[in-house]
Chains A and B, each alone.
Chain A
């Protein structure tokens, strides 16, 4: 009795640890503490699960459990210590996938026990089993495929079949039909049907991620994050564990909110993202941009930056690809030392997952009060002397504001053209992810600085040093 009481208190404290921990994530000052609370909550729950009294014959098998816990912890710990911050999206994808895979394993064990009649499951219980297999399966293979995409192991265009959205619809309809059939037949049809259900779910996971790529990756990762949580919650119902349900639902809510935010940041509905991308190159030519491009010399650029009141740096994924965050920070230091107010304007989809750019800049020791979100940046930009754009393109495209014919029309963008002058660092005149021309480059206030981001920034850095 006392033991059960203590166990339940542990689970309760664990759930509170999760909720309180997530609440502390609302500020960078307390977030680290929050993460520790959540970690403590998880530890308490694992201890409770190890010692809680269970009904019936309990062989425990502690050797298996401890071996697995140790193996998992070691693998998790070392991959977490080693991963580069630029690879965070890949890491989160893989972890999403593992959570989903674990839920699949739990569902599968229930399926086996249902059919060999060592466990009694009613229809609603079996519906939960199927949901666990489906959500967990999609989270598993979808995340692993998303990882392969982020690592550039697969080519987006090659894995998209003609009429891909129709194929996905058919598969989904098939899953619903098969699921209903399994539930109606009960034990009469045997385990094979449930296995087929799982296999189709696994294939669906890959197929559903296949056509989504490029700039839409943050949406996919958020969505899969939500799935991995929901599969945990479904498994929680199977094991009658309120703790698992609470944890899973919280993750599901978090992933859902981030998905919606990412969609809003691109002014697209979730449906639109899932059904198909921007359609590759078909979008080009919405605007016939004319006019000439003005270049600026390194020397002029450095003088302009050094003697201005306020500079706003607009980093894009190009900055991270070139590994130029540290040099960016050096320039920032030099300018700040001369009394220039330096800030960073960060678009929600600047990186490859939500908030990615903030982490990359934090890694380079940029203090977070210097990082402005979309709204803050847009009010700061109208009074800034110089906006310098490093490796960003679509998120600073004025066509989103004033060209109804543009595919990105309506997407919230950083209004860099409101600054007194704009310097664009760019490798070439190539268009961005979405394949759309950017009239900003031809804007009267814009000057271009061509070259590799890291190379140009280092040269700019030494020019400023010699001033």
Chain B
């Protein structure tokens, strides 16, 4: 149990961050109207491309001779980037259709 108290106290800031982001996320997303649920999903999908950041850091820290890790990192960046770039572009394409028509 001592361990747990220690962990809590050491990581207080990240625990605050987690708690507030969860609450903020629910608060913002509950306001999105049903009309926009598909773009919301593809847009948030693009945001889950944040994993690409981790993959970039991984490759930067890898020894140039460690081909296994380099290949893993390469694959990670490609996968994350497809997710991010594709997600934002397809969301933009959808939202363009929702713009006000002037007739």
Contacts and interface: CB of A to CB of B under 8 A. Distances in A.
Given A31-B95, A64-B74, A368-B35, A72 B47 contact: no
A32 B95 contact: yes
B48 A251 contact: yes
Contact of A362 (B56, B92, B98): B98
A72 B58 contact: no
Contacts of B31: 23, 26
A22 B29 contact: yes
Interface of A: 18-19, 21-23, 25-29, 31-32, 34-36, 38-39, 42, 45-46, 49-50, 52, 54, 56-61, 64-65, 67-69, 71-73, 75-77, 79-81, 83, 85, 88, 91-92, 95-96, 98-99, 101-103, 105-106, 108-109, 112-113, 124, 221-222, 225, 228-229, 231-232, 235-239, 241-258, 261, 346, 348, 351, 353-356, 358-359, 362-363, 365, 367-368, 371, 373-374
B50 interface: yes
Contact of B86 (A79, A112, A232, A242): A79
A229 B45 CA distance: 8
B36 A25 contact: yes
Which among B51, B88, B96 has the highest number of chain A CB atoms within 10 Å?
Answer: B51
A72 B85 contact: yes
Nearest to A241: B53
Nearest to B30: A257
B90 interface: yes
A46 B60 CA distance: 13
A326 B6 CA distance: 62
B53 A69 contact: no
Contacts of A368: 35, 98
Chain A interface main SS type: helix
Contact of A354 (B37, B50, B55): B37
Interface in B57-84: 57-64, 68-70, 72-84
13 contacts: A25-B40, A26-B32, A38-B88, A61-B59, A72-B85, A98-B83, A112-B68, A243-B50, A244-B53, A247-B50, A353-B41, A355-B35, A355-B37
Interface residues of B, number: 79
Given A42-B49, A254-B40, A348-B34, A35 B91 contact: yes
B75 A105 contact: yes
Contacts of B34: 346, 348, 354-355, 358, 373-374
Nearest to B81: A72
B81 A76 contact: yes
A159 B20 CA distance: 41
Which among A57, A64, A73, A236 has the highest number of chain B CB atoms within 10 Å?
Answer: A64
A21 B43 contact: yes
Contacts of A102: 49, 51-52, 54-55, 75-76, 79-80, 83
Given A355-B37, A356-B38, A235 B83 contact: no
Contact of A250 (B25, B62, B91): B25
A49 B81 CA distance: 13
A112 B72 CA distance: 11
Nearest to B85: A76
A356 B99 CA distance: 17
A381 B100 CA distance: 25
B79 A98 contact: yes
Contacts of B14: 237, 242, 245
A7 to B, nearest CB: 12
B7 interface: yes
A80 to B, nearest CB: 4
B53 A246 contact: no
A61 B72 contact: no
Nearest to B97: A362
A221 to B, nearest CB: 7
